[in-house]
Structure formats: structure tokens, C-alpha cells
Amino acid sequence: MLSEDNAFTTALQLIIGLDETLVGIVALSMQVSLTAVLIAAMLGLPLGAAVALWRFPGRGLVIIILNAFMGLPPVVAGLVVYLMLSRAGPLGELGLLFTPSAMVIAQILLILPIIAALTRQHTEERWDEYREQLTSFRVSRVRAIPTLLWDARFSLMTVILAGFGRASAEVGAVMIVGGNIDGVTRVMTTAIVLETNKGNLPLALGLGMILLLLVALINAGAFLIGEEARRRLG
Amino acid sequence: MNDMNTAPTSATMLAMEGVAFTHRGHALLKDVSLSLSRHGNTIVMGPNGAGKSLLMRLLHGLLSPTHGRLRWHGQSGRPPRQAMVFQRPVMLRRSAIANVTYALAVQGTRWRDRRPQAWDALERFGLTEIAHRPARVLSGGEQQRLALARAWALRPEILFLDEPTSALDPAAIKAVEDAVIDFHHQGTRIVMNTHDLHQARRLADDIVFLCQGRVIEHNQADSFFTTPRTREAAAFVRGELVW
Ligand SMILES: Nc1ncnc2c1ncn2[C@@H]1O[C@H](COP(=O)(O)OP(=O)(O)OP(=O)(O)O)[C@@H](O)[C@H]1O
Ligand SMILES: [Mg+2]
């Protein structure tokens, strides 16, 4: 049995030595979460801006649902995607269950509401401020979407970072739909759970440190973006 | 009826016919009939809350009248190219020049013409040194000039200015007034609000005098200041408040 001190040293050695297993897990995590955040942003940014711009029946309900889904428990998201993708489910024929694609879908479900809801808030603030001026320019609503997104760009980058943070740090959804298959769907969080249970503390700790570093980097990024926005935009 | 030329003629650019604007049961503008000729500077005056800004927004099409209608003459009744400078300029979160090129882009100016045209406008208003600064960190006066430059770049046929000088120092006020005169020489129709009687005397060809949501008097500028037709206008010109 390794002492904790030893586990820590070994973990560092794994990181510095770019241990193959560790690198593979980190790379898959990044690939899955970056893909998810990219797709969620491509859908969520225009969706949020559209909800900010248009008044339609049921708009309030849409906003409430988006806000509520921001707090969707990851295991529930995982369960929903599992039911959709399982062999008996409506999308069972695609054979996506227990693949990285399934994990991407589950993470999109988790972070799309966050990105859409926060985008709605930020772009609506801009719209309240710009409405008269843009109407004076005879800007159409469709044309206003990219304008508002661009003018909320600093806030929205922070939103996207938050989405990425949530995607890469959650366990429940990817565990259910990915299955934590070695070399196929094992990502940082699920590996940490497994390795800790097995008593393989160095690998768990090494992954934990990388995850922590990632979260720290995301927060630093958000902070720097905020500072830059204050400096550049007044 | 106190409009100086109620019946639209061939020289009419824009006519309001029995326009009213009611909001939550409050009649904010009542039965406004007004016709604006194709040329000249119209100054809208009146006490605070009279409805001057509201009238501008209706004319510019930012709001629709709840009664009556607005008629543009010529060009098959379609509204002409127009711009508005607001009392508090709204700047996008971009550089000064990008604020101008954005407006040009929306108007449909070809991509390669936007920068040169924007640059010309900034030059006209002495803003080239701050062209690449973020628009929102500029001072109030600089932003006001940038708003004018942006309107200038759009080459409007009619320009609405809502108290464009109310927050400016004397030199900046002079610059705005010079710009208004330049717009006039370019053939742009001007409709402007001001509380400054001297400014109105300097710039106006005709005066629209509003009080409590009604057009009390629409008169040639010289007559308005020397021999106003209404008691309210006379009191206003003497600097006595009316509401
Ligand atoms: N969009 C609007 N919706 C509802 N009420 C409005 C709107 N715009 C203006 N009002 C109201 O209409 C009245 C006239 O406002 P307006 O801004 O036109 O006055 P003003 O003559 O420009 O005054 P000031 O000299 O203070 O600028 C005010 O009582 C104001 O509260
Ligand atoms: Mg006003």
C-alpha cells in the first residue's frame, strides 16, 4: 500500500513523464468537452439572442424552462440520453450508446441551457440599450442577432468558459452514457472515480491535479476577459 | 389651426395628419397636424415634457402613432433616407470608426467603400485621432460628435437631432451648430429640438412650438420670435415658463 506522500510523488511523475494512459484520458476528455461546448455554443448563442429579440406567446415559459435546465442534475441528463440511445430507445438504431458521441450529446444537453439562458440575459441587456439606435439604423431583427452577440462578446466568452468547466468536471452523465470503457469512453472524472475505488491513487491524483489546473485556468481566463472588457469598453 | 401651411403642397416633404399618441390612457400627443417643407431647418421648442422627443420619434418612425398618420411625399410615399442623433448618444462596444462602418454596412454600403467614407466623416468632425479608440470610453462631447459623424456618413435626406448640444461646452456647441449648417448646405432636411432660444434664432427657418402634447404654433422663425401668434409662445419667448 502506497503512502499518500508516495502517491503524490508518483502522480507528479505520471504527469511529467506524460504517462500514456493519463495522456489518453486527458485527451479524450478535452475532445469530448470541447466538441460539446462548440456545438452547444453554436446552437445556444443564436437561440439565446433570438429569445431576447422576439416577443412571442410562451416566451416567458421558454425562459423559465431554460433557467430551470441550467441546474439540470448531470445524472438526470445522462439518464435521459441513455433512454434515447439505448437499443429500445427512439435513437437506438444509431448505436451511439457507450461511444464518445453519446458523451458529447449528454454534455450538450447539460450546457446548452446554460449558454442559451445566459446569452438571453446578456443580449437582452444590450438590446434594451441599443433598441432605439438600431431601429434608427433600420436594422432587422435577424441582422441584430450577430450585432448583439458581438457586443456582448466578453460576457459570452465567460459564459462559454463556464459551460466548458461544467462539461469537463461532471461525472454522472458521461458515466451513464459512456460506460467508462477503458481506452474508449474513459474520461478524467470517470477515471478518477474508478481508480480511487481500485486504490490506484497515483493515477486518480494525477488526473485530479490536471482537472484542478484546468478549472483554475478557466477561472483565470474568465477573470482576464473581464479585466480586458473593462479596459477596452469602459 | 395654427400650422402655417396645413395643406400639403408640392414643396411638402412630410405631413402628419391628425396624429395622436396615447400610452396607457395618457394622451401624450394630441391631434398633431403638421407639414414640413422639403428644405430648411425646423426647430421644435417647448417646455419639459411637452412631447418634443416623442414627436421626433414618431417622425423618425421609432414609434407608430396610435391615431392619425404620417405621410411622406415624393418617392412614391416611401420614407427617405434618414438618421437621428439622440440626446444621449448610443455607441456600440467597438472602436469609433467601427461604429460608423457598422451604420454604413446596415445601410448597404459596399464593403470597400465603408472605411473611406467613415474616415471622411471622422475627418469632417475632427475625430481621426480617436478613430481606433473604443467608442464608449470617449467623453460625452466626443461621443456626441461621433454620433454626428455617423449620421453624416449616412448622407440622410432628413436628420433628426434631439437636443444635440444640451451637454456640451461652448466650443462643442459651436461645432455642432456648424455641422448642422453644413448638413443644411448638403441638402439635408433638419428637424431639431433645443431649449436654447439663441441657438434656435441662429439655426431655425421655422419653429414648431409644443405645449402639453399639442402643437400650439408652427411659424416662420422671425415671426415666432418677434410677433408670436399665441399667448403661450409669447410667454415662452420672453422666458416665462408655461405648462
Ligand atoms: N415611449 C413612451 N412611452 C410612454 N410615455 C412616453 C414615451 N415617451 C415619452 N413619454 C412621456 O411623454 C411625455 C413627453 O415626453 P417627451 O420626452 O416627448 O418630452 P420632451 O418635450 O422631449 O421633454 P424634455 O424637454 O424634458 O426633453 C412625458 O410625460 C413622457 O413621460
Ligand atoms: Mg426630450
Q: What is the CATH number of the domain that holds A51?
A: 1.10.3720.10
What pLDDT was estimated at residue A220? 93
pLDDT band of B73, cuts 50, 70, 90: confident
What pLDDT was estimated at residue B1? 42
Choosing among B63, B92, B133, B142, which should be mutated to test the A contact, i.e. which has the most A CBs within 10 A? Answer: B92
Minimum CA distance residue for ligand 1 atom 12 = B28
What pLDDT was estimated at residue B4? 57
How far is it, in rounded angstroms, from Cα B107 to Cα B139? 27
Q: Are A65 and A164 in contact (CB under 8 A)?
A: no
Ligand 2 center to B214 CA (angstroms): 15
Averaged pLDDT score across all residues of chain A: 93
B67: region left, alpha or beta (phi > 0 left; psi from -120 to 50 alpha): beta
Q: Total structural domains in chain A? A: 1
Residue A79 lies in a domain: yes
Cα–Cα distances in Å, from B25 out to B20, B29, B32, B35, B204? Answer: 12, 12, 17, 27, 34
Q: What is the mean pLDDT of residues B7-30?
A: 87
Return the closest-CA partner of residue B16 out of B222, B191, B153.
Answer: B191
Contact A133 B90 (CB under 8 A): yes
Residue A97 lies in a domain: yes
Residue A234 lies in a domain: no
Residue A57 lies in a domain: yes
What pLDDT was estimated at residue B78? 85
Choosing among B78, B84, B106, which should be mutated to test the A contact, i.e. which has the most A CBs within 10 A? Answer: B106
Q: What is the mean pLDDT of residues A131-154?
A: 96
Locate the domains of chain B by residue range: 89-153
Residue A199 lies in a domain: yes
Is the CB of B171 inside 8 Å of chain A's CB atoms? no
What pLDDT was estimated at residue B13? 92
Name residues whose C-beta falls within 8 Å of residue A55's C-beta, 6 or more positions apart in sequence: none
Quick check: B190 pLDDT over 60?
A: yes
Ligand 1 center to B172 CA (angstroms): 26
Residue B205 in grid coordinates? 427657418
Residue A1 lies in a domain: no
Return the closest-CA partner of residue B135 out of B115, B116, B152, B149.
Answer: B149
Q: What is the mean pLDDT of residues A40-55?
A: 97
Minimum CA distance residue for ligand 1 atom 4 = B23
Task: List the domain range (segments joined by +) for residue A190.
Answer: 7-229
